[in-house]
Amino acid sequence: MTDVTAERPALADLSQKLGVDIDPELLSLALTHRSWAYEHGQGPHNERLEFLGDSVLGQAVTVRLFTRHPDLDEGALAKRRAGVVSTVALAEIARGIDLGSHVMLGRGEDLTGGRDKDSILADTMEAVIGATYLAVGPEAATALVLRLVEPLLDDPDRYGAAIDPKTSLQELAARIGTPPPVYHVTATGPDHDRTFVATVSVGAVVAEGTGSSKKHAEMAAALRAWHELSARA
């Protein structure tokens, strides 16, 4: 386990953003990526907390959508839930609280842009939710989830963008008369651990995204471009 003493000011800042008082050692574990653990003697990492947080997240979002939208059928509810709990959506939420700056990564993962990688941000966000559940109980964990996802729940247009950002971006560009998106992807790292960086240009908007695959990098770039183009439109 990492020494959390030096991390306490940063962890306190994150706890304040979350609005939850989480034990520093437990929160530190939630922020520990397996790459950091492997570089420090195979210590514990956050994947078990991620497993727990995924369940807490899914239940909280399901119940909120079910009670808020009595008019929607199962298919519509499932689509909205998928958008809110998707990797892309969770990464967006994580960026909103600057979670990436707190994640403890191995050197290689850090040097290849891991702090802004959708998969790492989303998994860490789930681990933090799991830590909240253990630290302060199910009610506080549910309240945290709902605070974090509320912007998505209140903006139906984001459901489609979060689930399929490339299609949503293309449709938005066509609707406002902008040339279709053009993607350019590069890759770095060894074959077994590639990091992809995608750049998308659509009109005057240029956005970048990273991911563990070409598809994920393009999705991340497309979602950022969609938000910027939506704001301009």
Catalytic residue among 54, 109, 118, 164: 54
DSSP conformation letters of 191-228? GGG-EEEEEEEETTEEEEEEESSHHHHHHHHHHHHHHH
Q: Is 50 annotated as a binding residue?
A: yes
How far, rounded to the nearest angstrom, does the alpha carbon of residue 38 sit from its chain's CA centroid? 23
Cβ proximity of 57 and 85 under 8 Å:
yes
214 burial class (0-12, 13-18, 19+ CB within 10 angstroms)? middle
Distance between CA atoms of 67 and 12, rounded to whole angstroms? 34
Distance between CA atoms of 200 and 182, rounded to whole angstroms? 5
Q: Is 193 annotated as a binding residue?
A: no
Catalytic residue among 92, 126, 164, 218: 126
Distance between CA atoms of 36 and 103, rounded to whole angstroms? 9
Q: Does 54 qualify as catalytic in the annotation?
A: yes
Q: How many of the other CB atoms lie within 10 Å of CB of 201?
A: 16
Distance between CA atoms of 58 and 176, rounded to whole angstroms? 35
Distance between CA atoms of 219 and 174, rounded to whole angstroms? 18
Per DSSP, 184 falls in state E
Catalytic positions are: 54, 126
Which residue positions form the known binding site?
Answer: 50, 123, 126
